[in-house]
Amino acid sequence: MRPKYLWLDGKIVPWKKGTIHLATPGVQYGLGGFEGIRFYRTDKGPAIFRLPEHLARFSYPHWSIGTKTAYSEEELICAIKRLIRKTGMEEGYIRPVSLLAEETLGIERIGKLVKTAIILWHWEKGLRSEAVSAKISKVRRIHPASLDVCAKVNGHYVNSRLAILDVQNSGSYDKAILLDHKGYVAEAAAENIFMVKNGILITPSCGAILPGITRDTIMILARDYLGRDVVREKKITPDELLNGDEVFLCGTAAEILPVGSIDGIVIGDGKPGKTTRRLQALYSDVARGKIKLYARWLTYVR
């Protein structure tokens, strides 16, 4: 269900007013940046999870497309809170998006005019108790020398979409895993990836991946709860991944998603593993304000 309102360049407007002209570089070439943020129901009303980190990333892609975000972090925080209050939503997904908006078809001389919107979406899925199936896609993750992989630029998601189509066309797989340009495991289409081997959590190092905020949260939680030396960031080959005791994906939307099989090969016993379940429960409690130690990660709306 769609909320009744969205925020567009300073104003809360009815949902159907959230439009941009077709002849703009945002639409024509995917030139824009976006974010995906969650807010959760807590005892003290809705709270946004790791908002400053998401907004820092939101302003980052604007450099990579040659312009700056039109709003400061404070203005965006205010706008997001105001919109959540106006819709009355208690939990959901927040999608800020900034698109280059000058009406022109030429790619050589694109101005700096930006249209910024904040869109909310109802999203109440809870912890995932079943494992998903994944396939390693033929489509490689974008080369870091071609595009800035750390930026959430709209056009980059052609890469994700192609990987998803590739695995969906080769069977009934839930998720696509992309290798980087050198053939090491990179990430999923919109999630980072972890494997667990002999109690150690291993995740691809940065370079060809989007350094996810959920990935960062998981590394902190794992070090705090499972042991200081429990996390390794390193290159992972596809074979290593298939030999993991557990594999899971993670991202703002998916949270922590257990993977039961990859390319038809069962991971562990095919069910969500012990470490994955422990991290899922911790993540859920932290996001809902149940663990005081991480209260700094929550921005309350009221």
Stretch of 21-29, 95-103, 128-136, 207-215 lying at the interface with ligand PMP (CB under 6 A): 207-215
Stretch of 70-78, 111-119, 205-213, 272-280 lying at the interface with ligand PMP (CB under 6 A): 205-213
Measured between alpha carbons, how far is residue 60 from residues 9, 46, 74, 98 in Å?
19, 26, 16, 11
d(CA 65, CA 176): 27
> Is 17 noted as a catalytic residue in this protein?
no
Q: How far is the CB of 190 from ligand PMP (least distance, A)?
A: 4
Stretch of 3-11, 78-86, 210-218, 266-274 lying at the interface with ligand PMP (CB under 6 A): 210-218
203 binds ligand PMP, rule: CB under 6 A: no
Nearer residue to ligand PMP within complex by CB, 33 or 268: 33
286 binds ligand PMP, rule: CB under 6 A: no
Nearer residue to ligand PMP within complex by CB, 24 or 214: 214
CA angle 115, 121, 125 (to 5 degrees): 150
DSSP secondary structure of 67-111:
---SS-HHHHHHHHHHHHHHHT-SSEEEEEEEEE--S---SSS--
d(CA 233, CA 135): 22
174 binds ligand PMP, rule: CB under 6 A: no
User: Which one is catalytic: 81, 115, 135, 152?
Assistant: 152
190 binds ligand PMP, rule: CB under 6 A: yes
Contact pattern from residue 225 through residue 254 relative to ligand PMP, giving x for each residue in contact according to CB under 6 A and a dash for the rest: --------------------------xx--
The encoded tokens of residue 215 equal 């990935």
Query: Any idea of the CA torsion for 67, 206, 227, 193, to the nearest 10 degrees?
Result: 100
CB 132 within 8 A of CB 118: no
Kindly list the catalytic residues: 152
